Amino acid sequence: MNFSKRYIWPLAAVIAGGALCAGNFASSSLHVSAARTSQAVEPLTLYASASADATMGLDYDLDSLQLVWKVLNIVKDYYVDEIDPYNNSKMAHSAVKYMVASLGDSNSQFLDKDASTTLSEMAQGRFSGIGAVLKIRERKEPNFTDQQLTVVAALPGSPAERAGLQPGDVIEEVDDKWIMSHDPFSDVYKLSKDYKATYQQKKHAFDSAKELQERSVSLDVVSQKLMSAKEGELKLKVSRNGKALPPIKLTPGVFTPELVQSKMLDNSVGYIRIVLTTPQTPAEFRKALSALVGKGASSVVLDLRNSPGGQMVASQEIAGALIGPRQFAQVLHSRGRVDALNGRGNPVGKVRLVGLVNLGTEGTSEVLAAGLREAAGMKLIGDTTWGNGFERTAFRLEDGSGYILTTGKIVSPSKRDFNKVGVKPDAIVPMAASRVGQAGDTQLERALAVARRPAAEAALLTIPGATADKDSRS
């Protein structure tokens, strides 16, 4: 059995330690087309109804259903001990979990009742845990694929931010337990077939793999630690750009991040930073934008750095405050179906936009960056974004559990695809994510210069040695 399916069943959306929902679940589109469901879906709710599409394709899947039903009956009839109702439910959940995991898609996963409830709360802006939005990023090795638990962004005011976690950091261990990212015996398997390898080499490889396995911890166990406020101090082993950092200690907690920050940069340039996109964000964004326009702002710097996105409907409302009901993205579905994503609501006022992005710009924040560049001519400054514009739809089952499925790919209005490669800015200004909003924020300084001098924009966007064609990620 493929190791990644057996041991690392996709749980990226559950690991955020109080914020992963924001970046890996809520940051993915929760857009649900009315044409694809048999009953109305509240646009700001976290879940669609599982019963809506439960019978789609049933005629084609009867053989599979009969197989599952047959095995279940055999187990109930012949297993040495009596199967109680709890075990029935446990077996059903395990079957569904591995059914979804068999897709090989880290963005699709089964969620038990507790995880579903936690994610629902996170999507509404209530967080617990370390407050780092995390995702699984794959790194190809000679003998295996390493599935690294990687920081997308640390939310403002969170334990993760105070501990100094940055986008791109890889969490390798928690409390001296290795997070099982691959089969530790992968190298042993290859070495065992190498006739040139000595017995000592093979034994050393085996002993090392065994030691690593014995002190390993699964992804789902780690998720409970990182998303729980009941845990005491945690010790993390983290690497940055391939180099190990000193051990990081932090204590999970409960917090509510600030969603929108705004101010005037000068007499004609305003500034709005979107920290997270929840159902409450559009109203706060519209209020902030109205206040800036009222103070005379003719240009606005829209800061999407370290912003792991959120709900797509909320992002449509944010876009509506800037461009009205115009299209700013498209969703590509299976069988050639295409849905348009338009802004919702009327624009607050006509302002010129300059956007800020970096590696921590992910999900629907990337959709806004790519879409507003085409729909509103917004110039982008900073670093290449994360590279995740997949639409995912969440379904809740009758027992309170649920599952998430990737149901589409989001692209710009001209169908430019930024998935897995990120949105590349018009001008790359390399800068550590920890300096966002701090003294010496060179990305903000460049954005302000562009916003102040539209006539000199081309020259201001040109940076010696760095262009939009260069991916700043190494």
Cα distances from 273 to residues 83, 102, 258, 259, 386, in angstroms, run 54, 39, 10, 8, 18
Q: What is the 3-state secondary structure (H, E, C) of the chain?
A: CCHHHHCCCCCHHHCCCCCHHHHHHCCCECCCCHHHCCCCCCCCCCCEECCCCCCCCHHHCHHHHHHHHHHHHHHHHHCCCCCCHHHHHHHHHHHHHHHHHCCCCCCCEEECHHHHHHHHHHHCCCEEECCEEEEEEEEECCCCEEEEEEEEEECCCCHHHHCCCCCCCEEEEECCEEECCCCCCHHHHHHHCCCCCCHHHHHHHHHHHHHHHHCEECHHHHHHHHCCCCCCCEEEEEEECCEECCCEEECCEEECCCCEEEEECCCCEEEEEECCECCCHHHHHHHHHHHHHHCCCCEEEEECCCCCCECHHHHHHHHHHHHCCCEEEEEECHHHCEEEEECCCCCCCCCEEEEEECCCCCCHHHHHHHHHHHHHCCEEEECCCCCCCEEEEEEECCCCCEEEEEEEEEECCCCCCCCCCCCCCCEECCCCHHHCCCCCCHHHHHHHHHHHCHHHHHHHHCECCECCCCCCCC
- Residue 78 has φ and ψ, to the nearest 5°, of -120, -10
Of 86 and 456, which is predicted with more confidence?
Answer: 456
Average pLDDT, rounded, for the chain: 80
Q: Tell me, what's the pLDDT at 345? A: 95
Q: Tell me, what's the pLDDT at 366? A: 96
Distance from the Cα of residue 395 to its chain's centroid: 18
Q: Which residues pair with 239 in a beta bridge?
A: 170, 244
Q: Tell me, what's the pLDDT at 142? A: 80
Q: Tell me, what's the pLDDT at 210? A: 93
CB atoms within 10 A of CB 14: 29
Q: Tell me, what's the pLDDT at 110? A: 77
Q: Tell me, what's the pLDDT at 100? A: 76
pTM: 0.79
Residue owning tokens 């560049």:
373
Residue 271 pLDDT greater than 60, yes or no: yes
Residue-wise pLDDT tens digits, 131-161? 988 888 888 888 778 889 999 999 988 999 9
Instruction: Report the range of poorest mean pLDDT among 164-178, 263-277, 381-395.
Output: 381-395
Q: Tell me, what's the pLDDT at 406? A: 87
CA angle 159, 165, 168 (to 5 degrees): 145
Phi-psi label, residue 168: left if phi above 0, alpha if psi -120 to 50, beta otherwise: left
Measure the CA–CA gap between 303 and 279, rounded to whole angstroms.
Answer: 19
* Residue 62 binned pLDDT confidence (cut-offs 50, 70, 90): low
- Residue 456 has φ and ψ, to the nearest 5°, of -100, 20
Residue 118 pLDDT greater than 60, yes or no: yes
* Residue 38 binned pLDDT confidence (cut-offs 50, 70, 90): very low
Residue 427 pLDDT greater than 90, yes or no: yes
| Domains (range + CATH), the chain | 3-185+218-253 (2.30.42.10), 260-391+407-461 (3.90.226.10)
Of 308 and 106, which is predicted with more confidence?
Answer: 308
Residue-wise pLDDT tens digits, 154-181? 998 899 999 999 999 999 999 999 999 8
